[in-house]
Amino acid sequence: MTTPADGLPASATETGSAVIRVLSYNIRSMRDDNAALARVIRACEPDLVLIQEAPRFFRWRKAAARLAAATDLVVLSGGATAAGPMLLCSLRATVERTEDVLLPLTPGLHRRGFATAVVRIGGARIGVLSAHLSLQAAERYEQAGALLDRLAGMGVEHAVAGGDLNERPDGPSFRRLASALQDCRQVAPWGGEFTSTSWDPHQRIDAVFVTGGVEVLGCGVPEGLASADLAAATDHLPVLAALRVPVP
């Protein structure tokens, strides 16, 4: 298996499995240096990108299309129709279906949602979900439960979910997810740990989770990227995971 400059396994199709690279990234509505953002995403060589805070307002589809073009990816689902989460994918992915999900609105709080899809990569079938959980603790806990319910209802054996949890690993919502799924960073630590802020990383509030049966080969914040690009691209750091997904 080849290894890119960042040290994680490269995407590959193996006998009985597929190695995929998944990136989770809060891009702050593309309000920062979009050229730096594109360089960061390209350098991670992802098959799937789970985005939070995608553009949601005026000409948001054009902004999403520009980001996809600049990173040699395509828009899979989400954006304003999912209240911010969005999925991008490489041409390696064959799309089976997509669905944008809006969660119940709590008066006075920001609307939240999930961008979801089922894709096939190298023969492996996998559910994908991007989420950005609430700033309010009680609502966040309910949304964590909704995330687990959504994954369970996707009709797939293997799934990956990631996003900005707005909570550290010792919080109840984070623990709720980690008790039902594999917290990729905890299973196979690689790279940096803290994801916020991009200029002063001091907490891990972004994560990638997978269902049982998916082998985590490594997960964390890529450390070989230009620090100037990371600080300029957005206010979060990206989380990159390499996964080995069984082929049915």
Beta-strand runs (E) in the chain? 12-14, 17-26, 48-52, 74-78, 86-89, 93-102, 113-121, 124-132, 159-164, 182-183, 206-210, 215-220, 239-246
Residue 216 DSSP one-character state: E
| Confidence check: pLDDT of 137 > 90 | yes
Quickly tell me which residue has 């279906």 as its tokens: 97
9-48, pLDDT tens digit by residue?
999 999 999 999 999 999 999 999 999 999 999 999 999 9
Residue 56, both tokens: 């949601």
Q: Is the pTM of this model over 0.85?
A: yes
Band of pLDDT at residue 171, cut at 50, 70 and 90: very high
Look at residue 123 and tell me whether its pLDDT is greater than 60: yes
pLDDT mean over 81-96: 98
What is the spatial distance between Cα 73 and Cα 171, in angstroms, rounded to a whole number?
34
What would the two tokens of residue 60 be?
């948001």
Three-class SS of residue 176? helix
Residue 197 has a pLDDT of 98
Q: Percent of the chain scored above 70 by pLDDT? A: 98
Residue that has been written with the tokens 């969005």 in this structure: 86
- With beta carbons less than 8 A apart as the criterion, state whether 181 and 209 touch: yes
Q: Which helix (H) or strand (E) holds 236?
A: none
Give the tens place of pLDDT for each residue, 153-162. Answer: 999 999 999 9
In this predicted structure, the answer to whether residue 1 has a pLDDT above a threshold of 70 is no
Please tell me the predicted confidence (pLDDT) of residue 36: 98
Express each pLDDT in 238-248 by its tens digit: 999 999 999 98
Find out whether 230 and 248 touch, Cβ atoms under 8 Å: no
Region of 28 (left: φ > 0; alpha: ψ -120 to 50; beta: rest) is left
Query: Residue for token digits 């991008």?
Result: 88
More confident residue, 108 or 75: 75
Q: What is the pLDDT of residues 61-86, one digit of tens each?
A: 999 999 999 999 999 999 999 999 99
**So what's the pLDDT on residue 3?**
67
Question: CA 107, CA 204: separation in Å to the nearest integer?
Answer: 28
Structure confidence at residue 2 as a pLDDT band (50, 70, 90): low
**Residue 5 pLDDT greater than 90, yes or no:** no
Question: What pLDDT was estimated at residue 248?
Answer: 87
Output DSSP code: residue 92.
T
What is the distance between the alpha carbons of residues 11 and 177, in angstroms, rounded to a whole number?
Answer: 26
**Integer Cα distance of 55 and 63 in angstroms:** 7
| Other beta carbons within 10 Å of 236 | 23
